[in-house]
Amino acid sequence: MTTLSIFDAHNPEATPTVTREAGEISRLLQARGVRFERWPTRELPADAAPEQILETYSAEIAKLKAESGFQTADVVSLNPDNPQKETFRKKFLDEHTHSEDEVRFFVRGQGIFYLHLGDQVFAVQCRKNDLISVPQGTRHWFDMGPEPEFTCIRLFTNPEGWVADFTGEEIAARLPRFEELEGAAV
């Protein structure tokens, strides 16, 4: 179940406000300029190739490209048996921004986007069926957990793909990681 935990950025140890209701999550994020939607997924083989995934969701990808000017789409997938999982996890754990919207549609699995919005941090535990679009310039980070298991479609306006500008702030280290929030969400 998708979970939104809202933390006080100045007092991250305080108990967060938590909701698991998709409509409320969408409303709260939309009020802050973040797109969040639940989309139906289609059955695909566990070993589906990226080309097959992109073809299966070609209509949705075309719609997003037309709406927002995205130029490219790709698939990122990670499993617990990946020998570089720790390196991949660390790459996204520090607060950063992008010069374009960061769009992810979760075809399977889960991960947490932390959005640093003013005096609050919105931790969105995305799961299969979730589409999130983090607006350009938004301070955020992503935690896939120590045993990552997800497949996402990503869309970009920059053909180079994922390019981050790290803020140098250490707020990400002060908030609960995936392991702590995952346990709380069950």
Count of the separate structural domains present in the chain: 1
Flag whether 25 is in a domain.
Answer: no
Identify whether 30 is part of a domain.
Answer: no
Q: Is residue 22 part of a domain?
A: no
Q: Quote the pLDDT of residue 107.
A: 96
Residues in binding site for Ni(2+): 96, 98, 102, 140
Q: With 0-12 CB in 10 A as exposed, 13-18 as middle and 19+ as buried, what is 118?
A: exposed
Domain assignment present for 7: no
pLDDT band of 47, cuts 50, 70, 90: confident
CATH assignment at residue 58: 2.60.120.10
Residue at 14 is within a domain: no
> Residue 161: is its pLDDT beyond 70?
no
pLDDT > 70? residue 96: yes
Q: How many other β-carbons are positioned within 10 Å of the β-carbon of residue 155?
A: 21
The mean pLDDT value for 18-26 works out to 96
Per the annotation, binding residues for Fe(2+) are 96, 98, 102, 140
Please give the pLDDT value at position 144.
Answer: 97
Asked whether residue 83 is assigned to any structural domain, the reply reads yes
Q: Is the pLDDT of residue 20 over 60?
A: yes
Range of the domain at 73: 38-110+127-179
**Distance between CA 169 and CA 165 in Å, rounded?**
12
- Is 173 within the bounds of a domain? yes
Please report the pLDDT score of residue 51 as a whole number: 97
Q: What is the mean pLDDT of residues 17-39?
A: 97
| 62 belongs to a structural domain | yes
Per residue in 118-160, pLDDT (tens digit) is 999 999 999 999 999 999 999 999 999 999 999 999 998 876 6
Dist CA 90 CA 92 (whole Å):
5
Annotated binding site, which residues? 96, 98, 102, 140
Q: Is this model's pTM higher than 0.85 or not?
A: yes
